[in-house]
Copies of this chain bind each other. A is one copy, B any other.
Amino acid sequence: MTAKAVEELEAPATSDAQPFLPDYLLFLTASVSAAMSEEFHEHVRTRGLRVPEWRVLACLHDDDGQMITRLARFAMIEQSRLTRIIDNMDERGLLERRSDKADRRRVRIFLTRAGAGLAAELVSEARAHEKRLIQRLPDGLGQDLKATVKRLHGVLWDGEQD
């Protein structure tokens, strides 16, 4: 065996010691989140919506008449983008803007009848999908994850609630 060959055996691709990503919380979480969501997101597109639009519907389903800033935080959408998403969903008749009487800077977003119907359907489909997804996972992995992220969500969103 040549000196070069030995060197290559002892100095792998890159990485000194342990690989980083398989032990990095933020990567694992993002990756798991994306992988789990993929399937339902595909379904959402099938229904003629983009993922952010689905998030808006879901947020309003839970709490209709939110103002844009709050909606943006919950739906994880940057404000100016959300403004334009709302323009578009408004044109499509899914929701409507109403200016807030008490604070005229605010614009409150309400689902139309059609929007509420679509939201209700998708929410119901999402619940069913989650059930299947969790069943498909081995052990109590799904339940474990859900319990943990629920607690975490509470912790991380404390203080910035509205």
Contact = CB atoms under 8 A, between A and B. Distances in A.
A152 interface: yes
B61 A156 contact: no
Interface string A118-161: 01000100110010011001100110111011111101110000
A130 B36 contact: no
A26 B33 contact: yes
Contacts of A24: 58, 126-127, 130
Chain A interface size band reads 35 or more
B148 A63 contact: no
A20 B61 contact: yes
A32 interface: yes
A62 interface: yes
Contacts of A90: none
Contact of A76 (B30, B74, B133, B146): B30
A134 B26 CA distance: 11
Given A14-B116, A137-B155, A152-B141, A146 B63 contact: no
Interface of A: 13-15, 19-37, 40, 55, 58-65, 74, 76, 111, 116, 119, 123, 126-127, 130, 133-134, 137-138, 141-142, 144-146, 148-153, 155-157
